Chains A and B, each alone.
Chain A
């Protein structure tokens, strides 16, 4: 893979995929969903995976998010060869380095907004005082201070996704994975969520990688990776001066 002359972030990539393949067993047939993908995801960038349905976007995201393993190939996330880790070590790695934002928000319905954001810190054993400060700061950042005690069922879709964003960021991960984060939101709410994610990504210098069909999202991205039939077809990168360049493959 050749990289263009604007390689800011490539010296310390957040994820590197080398000859990654992923095959699923469907009944008697093996279906190869990802076919030898080589990819470098820049650190501190807003990266979007683009492609038609069934192209392998979600599978690729899942593998970069360390919740799925490649059938072949090597994945390095935040400098760690993640497919060499045991199940428990991978769980610990995810807890520390990866945040997730889901299309359906996936908040824990029995916890309040505050508790949902706090939960990853509880799992990490963060002291109560420190937890409180961190959660309050994030609630303020996503504009939900007044909804701290509300359960997910009492929040709108946009508000739930804001909570999910705060939850994904609460442990200051290196990488946030978002699978079609605005797909279940109306366009206005989707735009506000996009603005929020972009804002948070810049504020906390976290790498965001997400899949989307949303044109606004794609326009806002630093890097756009086009996928088709399980392979990366092209990559476009926005340079610091705003010019978009195509990475040769």
Chain B
């Protein structure tokens, strides 16, 4: 009859109370794990979304991150093909890398002059095939399906815009967008001609991008300042509108083929890009890739001052969201931990009162006060382990059921509904942390009553009615 067996029998002495206490702990454990699983899933979903659109790492001009938004083209990277090739062929980076692709960010104004409207935009030149590959990335096996980009296999002057921008530019009807009100038509006469100078610039650009027939109903003009500060215009065919995560972005987003964007910004000069995106097979490889990239860049960047930034730096919203969920998780943990502390403490206190004579008897038989303390602490430990294990099993069961209900939800910062899943199974660190933490709390909560029991005066304990 060791301490563990005796403690187990003592717990079974008052089954209803022990089961109620254990259930309180089990519900607490399950609640923490379910929220943890939900929060993990949000983390993975957001990470997947960011990595699919922006890669794990971006190589940028050293000052681009801080100053580039004012004048992106001033911080262009030349020799980007050479750098990309060097990354792909590097013996260390090569096996880690999934996609390496350049992008060109620029600012400008998009105008639908036939409707008399224009809007400042955030433009993005990209390689559609690379983007499609990036959208396949699924390191966490979330099976999120992003629709293929309409830009792929489209004409050279094709563009995609945010649904908000489509609305502002009165392109809902030509793009056959639902849930996209046309609103009031501008007061000016419709179909007014482009200003002469803009029309001339546009015509020049149109000549350079041969296949386009301009002035169709979904043609817009994009005005941007080129690398020397002079204005340049390109007429582009809006082939689709895609909803962006935030309204602010949705109303300014425009993406087009990289060569088209480069012609608009650099004209006949040597084309540049503002970043090279590096998507790895696994997020866990980021530190290794970050350590290796400077070596590769020093050999291939032709002396340009470049920096490597990971997606956490590039997208502070991701980190802030993670911190928010971590804080909520910590708050819930503390709340449930306190409930466990008081529930088990109360149960053990009642046990001490009920077993006062028994404590006196055990002490008279020669058990040291530390032995009495150990006995009650072991009971708390057993309650903790039983409750945590039952809670874990419940959480896994509920997680399994929820994951098979095909529920979806629209998280903040996401344009598309995502599957509602609870990532519990496989999250061994979270499971171990939650279970062991609550077991420790349960054990500690038994410590104070156990101490009280161990300090009872033997003759008083034996006299206890």
In the complex, the answer to whether A110 meets B363 with C-beta atoms within 8 Å is no
Q: Mark A106-124, 1 if CB is under 8 A from B, else 0.
A: 1011110001001110110
**Contact yes or no, B361 A108, CB < 8 A:** yes
**Cβ–Cβ < 8 Å partners of A109 in chain B:** 13, 358
A68-B459, A111-B9, A115-B1 known; A106+B367 contact, CB < 8 A: no
A87's closest neighbor in chain B, by CB?
B369
Q: Is B10 an interface residue (CB 8 A)?
A: yes
Measured in the bound complex, the distance between the Cα atoms of B365 and A87 in whole Å is: 13
Task: Tell me the bound Cα distance from A109 to B462 in angstroms.
Answer: 15
A188 to B12, CA, bound (A): 35
Minimum CB–CB distance for A137 against chain B, Å: 19
Interchain CA distance A110-B6 in the complex, whole Å: 8
Assess whether A146 is interfacial by the CB under 8 Å rule.
Answer: no
Contact of A94 among B357, B364, B369 (CB under 8 A): B364
Chain B positions within 8 Å of A100 at CB level: 361, 364-365
Which secondary structure dominates where chain B touches chain A? helix
B459 in contact with A62 (CB, 8 Å) = yes
Q: Are A108 and B459 in contact (CB under 8 A)?
A: no
Q: CB within 8 A of B1: which of A92, A102, A118?
A: A118
B374 → chain A closest CB, angstroms: 12
> Is the CB of A194 closer than 8 A to any CB of chain B?
no
Q: Does B270 lie at the interface of the complex (its beta carbon under 8 Å from any beta carbon of A)?
A: no
> A106 and B459: CB pair below 8 A?
no
Any chain B CB within 8 A of the CB of A44? no
Max chain A C-beta neighbours (<10 A), residue from B360, B368, B370: B368
Residue of A nearest to B358 (CB): A108
Most buried by A among B12, B364, B462: B364
Measured CB to CB, the closest approach of chain A to B225, in angstroms, equals 86
B2 at the interface (CB under 8 A from A): yes
Within the complex, which residue of A67, A92, A104, A122 is in contact with B368, where a contact is CB–CB below 8 Å?
A92
Interface contact B366-A92, CB-CB below 8 Å: yes
- The yes or no answer to A65 lying at the interface (CB within 8 A) is yes
CB distance from B67 to the nearest CB of A (A): 72
Q: Answer whether residue B239 sits at the interface, using C-beta atoms and an 8 A cutoff.
A: no
Known: A102-B462, A108-B358, A111-B1. A88 touches B368 (CB 8 A): yes
Q: Encode contact with A along B336-368: 1 for CB under 8 Å, 0 otherwise.
A: 000000000000000000000110111111111
- How many whole Å from B43's CB to the nearest CB in chain A? 47
Pick from B365, B367, B458 the residue with the most CB of A within 10 Å: B365
User: Please, which residues of chain A bring their CB within 8 A of the CB of B459?
Assistant: 62, 67-68
Can you report 30 A-B residue pairs in the complex whose CB atoms are below 8 A from each other?
A: A62-B459, A65-B364, A67-B360, A67-B363, A67-B458, A67-B459, A67-B462, A68-B458, A68-B459, A88-B369, A92-B368, A94-B364, A94-B365, A95-B365, A100-B361, A100-B364, A108-B362, A109-B358, A110-B6, A110-B9, A110-B13, A111-B6, A111-B9, A115-B1, A118-B1, A119-B365, A120-B366, A123-B366, A123-B367, A167-B365
4 pairs of A and B residues whose beta carbons are closest in the complex? A95-B366, A110-B9, A106-B361, A67-B458
